[in-house]
Structure 1
């Protein structure tokens, strides 16, 4: 049994009531009104504290996507993805991973291709969630960029420890360089994107593709990425008990992910110490109320130091996971539009 599992409390995984109340009070002062509404909708679904759960239990918890759906229902609005993001058709596909096929969702704009193609990696700390949970981000990006978005389910820990997800991500990109045309895409106009754990995978895959001699993506969009392994950055301390991501949850993810402490020094996790020279332009998106905000700032600095063109935007009043919630969050709509503009410019 892992340290994370053995430290489970006798409270059935319920959040500590004092910390929960304090977290809500801080959010009430700092978060936008629509972000507060979304947080309330999530809380009403009764989520337990991920860091107190086993992995199977954690994977059953209500997600950010569930909260968006609940809030839309409360507002009397449609929850159909096709209504929320019109002009995008979704199909499923199989993509070659490092150890076998990976299921993928393929989001295609209405119109005549070939379209640019974005390989997209979902979040969830490399342990929980999947491409369907992150439908909002991938679908929104397809619309904003007017590009095909291929969202893949890479292998997850603890069943598949580090670096299985990274191996799958590179294999998926290699597959895309050879198979983009079969999806109606233009193999000369590829990009990589991802959120959270997937934001890390996006940058790490661009590095790995460079080192493997594969065609470079035109652009990389990395949304609140994990870019280093210290849990003592300014934003980790400031947002230690934030929602929906807190410092203890990140520690839980990491404990399930790595094989031993040496993995924490690997530059696929410690991106800020990787060789970043020669990468394609990068767009970084961060939320103010997020333990990972400083990761984005540190990665921006490292990319600039390496001579990589980079632009980072930090959105006030919103929290981790905001990007895919454009159906209910104004800042998510702004962030998706920004990412789309950056991608469209890169695809010209």
Structure 2
């Protein structure tokens, strides 16, 4: 981990201080109670005597149709001073389909709402192991479909709806686009994919090089998939193996934001290449010295602020 950006290293060191036991050695219930990268950032801010950033957005909650017969909670972030129909970003958080919530990823969603001037609908999809593959994927698609059809009721512009997600959420953003294409639902105008899960190959170059990286290491990925997949064969579904199995043609333009010190780095590059071969416009940017989960650390990590600003610029261009 000697390649770590110094600001990133501070956050990771604090995370490891708060989490002396690897998550993959815990039960699901125990792991869900453990401090997150968000907690590590806030802990460091307190230690440094710095205020926790409070973006100027309002927060509300609604319930949407999910994987039948389930309903899905969503948290809606809206720029406090914005007027008129706004663009809408349907966002899917990370956590390996097992951990986290919209609240854990608020640094990302509130940041995007404020920087883009958009309504962000953060979907609290049903997690594993209580809900196995492909419940979360279907939840995410159903939520997107509802938002696309009901954007005006939120103060949004139904012609300007994008999807975005981090890690497992990035994977599901692509899945939502594929499901929309295949079912005749109007596509998002853009997909923002932040270090997305894109393959089922745990022997890629970055998996080997960064198998012990933090906060995401190879054993944790195996822990996640053991909980979400009904059987290992689920990993070979087009919804998981985007770069091997999926048909990506006809999907909307994509932005991929990648972290260097991340087991998923290689598959992000493979996804970029697959998009290009499939005729999908794609922009890819790798942030050196950063780790998985860096995107929401912008209160302390300059490269995370740069990444959020870049993502916002890409989305603003897509919404024109």
Q: TM-score, normalised by structure 1?
A: 0.89
Match of 1:221 in 2: 192
Aligned counterparts of 2:315 and 2:234: Cα–Cα separation in 1: 32
2:76 aligned to 106, 115, 118, which one? 106
Deviation of the 1:177 alpha carbon: 1.3
Deviations 1:161-182 (A, max 9, x none): 0000011011001111111111
SS of 1:30's equivalent in the other structure is coil
Match of 1:157 in 2: 128
Aligned counterparts of 1:70 and 1:129: Cα–Cα separation in 2: 18
Match of 2:270 in 1: 298
1:87 aligned to 56, 59, 64, which one? 56
Aligned counterparts of 1:160 and 1:178: Cα–Cα separation in 2: 26
Match of 2:309 in 1: 337
SS of 1:134's equivalent in the other structure is helix
Deviation of the 1:340 alpha carbon: 0.5
Bigger mean CA deviation after superposition, 38-47 or 202-211: 38-47
Report if aligned partners of 1:144, 1:339 keep a CA contact under 8 Å in 2: no
The answer on 1:200 being equivalent to 2:171 is yes
Deviation of the 1:51 alpha carbon: 1.3
Report if aligned partners of 1:47, 1:62 keep a CA contact under 8 Å in 2: no
Deviation of the 1:47 alpha carbon: 4.0
Report if aligned partners of 2:59, 2:78 keep a CA contact under 8 Å in 1: yes
Deviations 1:116-136 (A, max 9, x none): 000000000001111111111
Report if aligned partners of 1:85, 1:140 keep a CA contact under 8 Å in 2: no
SS of 2:203's equivalent in the other structure is coil
The answer on 1:328 being equivalent to 2:300 is yes
Deviation of the 1:43 alpha carbon: 2.0
Aligned counterparts of 1:40 and 1:197: Cα–Cα separation in 2: 24
Aligned counterparts of 1:47 and 1:126: Cα–Cα separation in 2: 23
The answer on 1:56 being equivalent to 2:29 is yes
**Counterparts of residues 156-305 of structure 1 (less than 5 Å):** 156-272=127-243, 273-305=245-277
Higher CA-based Rg: 1
Deviations 1:55-89 (A, max 9, x none): 1111111101100110110111122xxxx253322
Name segments (4+ residues, structure 1) moved above 3 Å: none
Deviations 1:22-53 (A, max 9, x none): xxxxx2x2111111111122122134211111
Any gaps of 5 or more consecutive residues in structure 2?
none
Report if aligned partners of 1:161, 1:257 keep a CA contact under 8 Å in 2: yes
Deviation of the 1:283 alpha carbon: 0.3
SS of 1:259's equivalent in the other structure is coil
Match of 2:106 in 1: 135
Report if aligned partners of 2:11, 2:40 keep a CA contact under 8 Å in 1: yes
SS of 1:105's equivalent in the other structure is strand
Cα RMSD (Å) of the superposition? 1.0
Aligned counterparts of 1:44 and 1:248: Cα–Cα separation in 2: 19
Aligned counterparts of 1:113 and 1:42: Cα–Cα separation in 2: 41
Number of positions where the alignment pairs a residue of Structure 1 with one of Structure 2: 317
SS of 1:166's equivalent in the other structure is helix
Match of 1:96 in 2: 65
SS of 1:203's equivalent in the other structure is helix
Report if aligned partners of 1:285, 1:312 keep a CA contact under 8 Å in 2: yes
Aligned counterparts of 1:251 and 1:267: Cα–Cα separation in 2: 19
Report if aligned partners of 2:82, 2:117 keep a CA contact under 8 Å in 1: no
Match of 2:116 in 1: 145
